């Protein structure tokens, strides 16, 4: 977290405390609306500060536990002692009021669907910067929040799935790539030709494709339609660019499963891991560089673009 953001969250907390402290009551004895805004400010500030040390899911779980604890304590203990007509203290009233809403949002995000925003061009041409997408959270099994361990097996990753996962080098960050290699597969990429288990993936040239990177630099590519398993999708390639940048390859776990040469590389995917690549092959940081994705890092399968403020025509497009 940058220093500026830290102080934004601190100011939000301070404003929240002041709104609560000086909020007072209305003439009828009920709490002033400024107190509710104060609690919302504290909630926002706490989310911001904690998110620098915990995942968003962990922060939400903590808030659910705290507000749920207040709700339960009031229901089982305080409500029975409270005299009729007595105004519920604001430190009980507002947390217990927040609990049902936060709990529903948490359950939906944890087990049903979660929104994400596309931050880079690594999945062009299918996904572009500014796309807001929805991710199926149960397609790869219902998972224990935070621990991300499967407790109800539902489905598994398939070749060609567009997968959101936690970045192996920084588990506070989410990445989106295409699943190229499943456990036990051998993935090979030489001279811009991708092969899985010794079989080159069929691809058809569909002409040139260009886009503006960050609105400043025009990037020229060749566009191909590639088929992996049951899925066909478009990829971008810069013919003159190298297959990978040797300087960018890290000393990742299980790197001994990979062999790098001047014309490309070959990797044997370990059990419980996946090999991910971006569709924008020459502008993607992926498993070529930072290695395999463990099953415990999977978030879900991307399936829909639900918003793009810069291009409304993209809304409602399915992801494949």
Rg (CA), the chain: 24
**Quick one: pLDDT at residue 195?**
98
Nearest to 182 by CA among 283, 267, 256: 267
State in words which class domain 114-314 has.
mainly beta
- Across the chain, what does the average pLDDT equal? 95
**pLDDT exceeds cutoff 90 at 46:** yes
> Could you tell me the pLDDT band of residue 215, with boundaries at 50, 70 and 90?
confident
Long-range CB contacts for residues 243-249, cutoff 8 Å, separation at least 24: 243/189, 243/190, 243/191, 243/192, 244/189, 244/288, 244/289, 245/289, 248/285, 248/288, 248/289, 249/288, 249/289
**Quick one: pLDDT at residue 76?**
96
Provide mean pLDDT across the span 282-305: 98
- Specify the 3-state DSSP secondary structure of 288: helix
What is the domain partition of the chain in residue ranges? 3-112, 114-314
CB contact at 8 A, 228 and 281? no
Enter the pTM of the model.
0.91
**pLDDT exceeds cutoff 60 at 1:** no
Cα distance between residue 173 and residue 153, in whole Å:
25
> Could you tell me the pLDDT band of residue 26, with boundaries at 50, 70 and 90?
confident
**Quick one: pLDDT at residue 28?**
76
pLDDT digits (tens, 9 = 90+) for 72-121: 999 999 999 999 888 899 999 999 999 999 999 999 999 999 999 999 99
Start-to-end CA span in the chain (Å): 34
Q: What amino acid positions are annotated as catalytic residues?
A: 122, 177
- Specify the 3-state DSSP secondary structure of 283: coil
pLDDT digits (tens, 9 = 90+) for 245-255: 999 999 999 99
What proportion of the chain, given as a percentage, has pLDDT over 70? 99
Structure tokens at 163: 């997968």
């Amino acid at each position: 977290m940058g220093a500026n953001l830290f102080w934004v969250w601190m100011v939000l907390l301070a404003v929240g405390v002041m709104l609560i402290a000086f909020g007072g009551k209305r003439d009828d004895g009920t709490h002033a609306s400024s107190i509710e805004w104060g609690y919302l400010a504290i909630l926002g500030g706490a989310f911001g500060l904690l998110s620098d040390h915990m995942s968003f899911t962990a922060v939400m779980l903590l808030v659910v536990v705290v507000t749920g604890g207040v709700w339960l304590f009031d229901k089982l203990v305080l409500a029975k002692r409270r005299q009729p007509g007595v105004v519920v203290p604001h430190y009980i009233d507002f947390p217990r009021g927040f609990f049902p809403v936060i709990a529903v949002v948490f359950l939906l995000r944890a087990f049903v669907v979660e929104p994400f925003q596309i931050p880079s061009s690594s999945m062009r041409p299918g996904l572009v910067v500014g796309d807001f997408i929805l991710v199926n959270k149960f397609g790869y099994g219902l998972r224990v929040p935070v621990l991300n361990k499967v407790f109800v097996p539902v489905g598994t990753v398939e070749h060609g799935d567009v997968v959101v996962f936690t970045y192996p080098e920084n588990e506070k960050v989410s990445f989106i790539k295409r699943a190229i290699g499943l456990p036990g597969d051998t993935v090979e990429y030489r001279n811009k030709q991708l092969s899985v288990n010794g079989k080159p993936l069929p691809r058809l040239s569909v002409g040139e494709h260009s886009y503006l990177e960050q609105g400043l630099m025009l990037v020229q590519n060749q566009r191909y339609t590639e088929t992996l398993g049951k899925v066909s999708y478009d990829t971008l390639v810069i013919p003159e660019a190298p297959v990978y940048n040797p300087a960018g390859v890290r000393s990742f776990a299980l790197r001994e499963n990979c062999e790098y040469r001047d014309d490309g590389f070959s990797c044997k995917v370990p059990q419980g891991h996946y090999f991910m690549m971006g569709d924008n092959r020459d502008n993607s940081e992926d498993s070529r560089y930072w290695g395999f994705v463990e099953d415990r890092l999977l978030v879900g399968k991307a399936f829909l673009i639900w918003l793009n403020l810069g291009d409304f025509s993209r809304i409602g497009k399915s992801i494949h």
